[in-house]
């Protein structure tokens, strides 16, 4: 690995050390010439570094509320009993509220999304994001495109939501502010890393479910929620919170929703998308935020520009209306013509709880009762999906999520975030809070060393990403959607009980628990297929005598067939919502 260059410039000694690291032997003239050439490169880098910062005019803060007028609060515990809120503020355009498709619906944003004037935490401590221990959280100077689109669509953004520490957890107890509690059962995971977005969206849904059954709504124990939220999903981070919290979360086709201005894990797996309490609201929110922004390199030639984005909610309504008009929207006929593939390998994972498998198989039977055709399908490579996910990005991942490395293609990456200083204190703090982050740092340093792992290793992994995508595509030629579990079990109890408190579990146990929940979700992050998590039923909670928690089912469709996935979900619910089956939760 090449030595670091002093900040005061390249000198002959450092250059000679650089040459020696390659084993090169140079003549004096060549050494002088190459030194001059490398020094010229450095001078140009410093020249650019000295230029004034540039902000793409498409990312300027929304004029509805100038940055100078944007204020925020950090909610007290009494106003944030589940620890789902990060910062509270209000951002809206009154004219758009009156005319836009969101019409005043309240929205929370995962705390990885840039909002000008509002601190950005990425779920970690402020000193992990800045160069000095006494500097507060960085404050973005831009509004991410999803923020602008929400405001323009009439949404009322009411705050940012707690997320996992650097988003490296599928559970919900690693945030610097402490565990985020499941709204159905306090002390249990809410799913991550978009933990707060899932919980805040679930709060009204839980209250509605309890009120319908004449149970206490537990308003004080739950706190204030929202109508809908935006999450980020790199390995399941929208779908896992949705499944654990009994709501709906869509990871759209890769690049459909712009990721510009959002804290990244790696461009190959980054997705942003809607979290809501109904299929129709997922479609509505997707209509508000989808479309290429002209900046994000994650989009593909198939990604529509913003002006060409279909009205997903209207297309869904029209498809349902067509069936209704033909008298086919009934509990025995709604599924006619729909082909569902039950993915064999997803139900064969060794860690899958039998109760979850039973809910998924019952979901398949429900599709059949609705008139759909359900067949068993097989993609053997699915069982290696998580390994391919790892091999395709782990070597560079820490540079992206810790140091904000921009994609190699044209993109806009925030410059407010500085990489943490890797000291012993950093190691001890992060090992206690989230050993997944430390593992990512060590793994990226080791796997990113091209002396050990030449680029051909990742090149081969990326070719297997294409192979995995082709395997799912082949199945989706014969079926409309794939059906499989989201999580291997219902929500487990928290492993970390309070902020700053070490878990009784070992580092290895922590890692396996927090990242071992994504084997059925992460493969679709690298293949880019749209995938929806929705409530499918109930299963008994661990360490509870009679408390039950939601089980999520997952529907996966063809690229850019979000309407088809949402329609399949709507069909399934004609025979009853997934949480209509009686489950009992003691409450939070």
Residue 110: active-site member: yes
The residue annotated as part of the active site, out of 193, 197, 386, 489, is 193
The residue annotated as part of the active site, out of 153, 169, 195, 237, is 237
The residue annotated as part of the active site, out of 86, 92, 110, 161, is 110
- In angstroms, rounded to a whole number, what is the distance separating the alpha carbons of residues 274 and 201? 10
For tokens 């878990």, the residue is 503
- In angstroms, rounded to a whole number, what is the distance separating the alpha carbons of residues 196 and 183? 10
- In angstroms, rounded to a whole number, what is the distance separating the alpha carbons of residues 407 and 413? 8
CA angle 410, 415, 416 (to 5 degrees): 155
Pick from 87, 426, 398, 366: which is nearest to 264 by CA?
398
Taking a C-beta distance cutoff of 8 angstroms, is the pair 247, 532 a contact? no
- In angstroms, rounded to a whole number, what is the distance separating the alpha carbons of residues 170 and 193? 6
Taking a C-beta distance cutoff of 8 angstroms, is the pair 145, 57 a contact? no
DSSP state of 292: B
- In angstroms, rounded to a whole number, what is the distance separating the alpha carbons of residues 554 and 236? 11
- In angstroms, rounded to a whole number, what is the distance separating the alpha carbons of residues 298 and 411? 9
- In angstroms, rounded to a whole number, what is the distance separating the alpha carbons of residues 121 and 549? 30
Between strands 156-161 and 85-91, the pairing is antiparallel
Please give the helix or strand (H or E) that residue 540 lies within, else none: strand 531-540
Q: Compute the half-sphere exposure of residue 397: CA atoms within 13 Å on the CB side of its CA.
A: 28
Residue 193: active-site member: yes
Residue 530 in tokens: 């749209």
Dump strand ranges (E) for 279-346.
339-343
Taking a C-beta distance cutoff of 8 angstroms, is the pair 235, 214 a contact? no
Q: How many CB atoms within 10 Å of residue 91?
A: 26
Residue 177 in tokens: 């502010």
- In angstroms, rounded to a whole number, what is the distance separating the alpha carbons of residues 13 and 34? 13
Residues that are catalytic: 110, 193, 237
């Amino acid at each position: 690995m090449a030595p670091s260059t002093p900040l005061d410039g390249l000198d002959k000694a450092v250059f000679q050390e650089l040459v020696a690291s390659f084993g090169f032997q140079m003549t004096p003239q060549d050494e002088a010439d190459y030194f001059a050439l490398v020094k010229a490169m450095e001078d140009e880098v410093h020249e650019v570094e000295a230029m004034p910062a540039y902000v793409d005019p498409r990312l300027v803060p929304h004029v509805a509320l100038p940055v100078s007028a944007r204020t925020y609060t950090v909610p007290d515990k009494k106003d944030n009993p589940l620890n789902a809120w990060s910062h509270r503020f209000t951002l809206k355009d009154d004219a758009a509220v009156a005319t836009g498709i969101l019409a005043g619906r309240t929205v929370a944003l995962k705390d990885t999304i840039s909002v000008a004037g509002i601190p950005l935490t990425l779920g970690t401590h402020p000193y992990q994001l800045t160069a000095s221990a006494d500097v507060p959280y960085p404050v973005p100077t831009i509004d991410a495109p999803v923020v602008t689109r929400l405001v323009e669509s009439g949404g009322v953004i009411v705050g940012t939501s707690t997320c996992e520490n650097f988003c490296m957890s599928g559970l919900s107890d690693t945030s610097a502010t402490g565990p985020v509690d499941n709204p159905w059962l306090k002390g249990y995971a809410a799913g991550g890393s978009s933990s707060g977005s899932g919980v805040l969206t679930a709060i009204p849904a839980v209250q509605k479910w309890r009120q319908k059954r004449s149970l206490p709504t537990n308003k004080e124990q739950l706190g204030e929620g929202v109508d809908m939220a935006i999450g980020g999903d790199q390995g399941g981070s929208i779908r896992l919170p949705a499944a654990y919290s009994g709501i709906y979360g869509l990871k759209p086709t890769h690049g459909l929703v712009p990721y510009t201005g959002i804290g990244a894990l790696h461009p190959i797996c980054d997705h942003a998308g809607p979290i809501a309490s109904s299929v129709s609201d997922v479609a509505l929110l997707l209509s508000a935020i989808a479309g290429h922004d002209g900046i994000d390199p994650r989009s593909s030639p198939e990604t529509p520009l913003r002006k060409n984005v279909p009205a997903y909610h209207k297309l869904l309504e029209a498809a349902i209306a067509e069936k209704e008009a033909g008298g086919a929207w009934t509990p025995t006929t709604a599924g006619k013509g729909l082909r569902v593939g039950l993915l064999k390998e997803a139900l064969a994972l060794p860690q899958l709880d039998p109760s979850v498998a039973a809910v998924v198989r019952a979901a398949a039977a429900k599709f059949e009762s609705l008139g759909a055709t359900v067949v068993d399908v097989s993609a053997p490579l699915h069982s290696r999906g998580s390994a391919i996910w790892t091999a395709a990005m782990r070597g560079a991942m820490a540079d992206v999520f810790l140091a904000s490395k921009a994609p190699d293609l044209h993109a806009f990456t925030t410059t407010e975030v500085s990489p943490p200083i890797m000291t012993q204190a950093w190691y001890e703090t992060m090992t206690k809070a989230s050993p997944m982050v430390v593992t990512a740092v060590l793994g990226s340093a080791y796997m990113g060393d091209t002396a050990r792992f030449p680029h051909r290793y990742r090149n081969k992994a990326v070719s297997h990403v294409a192979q995995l995508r082709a395997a799912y595509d082949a199945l989706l030629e014969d079926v409309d959607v794939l059906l499989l579990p989201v999580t291997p079990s219902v929500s487990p109890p928290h492993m970390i009980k309070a902020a700053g408190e070490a878990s009784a579990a070992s580092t290895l146990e922590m890692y396996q628990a927090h990242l071992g929940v994504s084997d059925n979700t992460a493969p679709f992050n690298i293949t880019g297929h749209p995938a929806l998590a929705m409530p499918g039923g109930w299963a008994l909670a661990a360490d509870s005598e009679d408390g039950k928690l939601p089980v999520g089912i997952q529907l996966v469709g063809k690229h850019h067939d979000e309407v088809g996935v949402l329609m399949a979900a709507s069909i399934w619910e004609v025979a009853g919502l997934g949480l209509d089956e009686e489950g009992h939760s003691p409450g939070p």
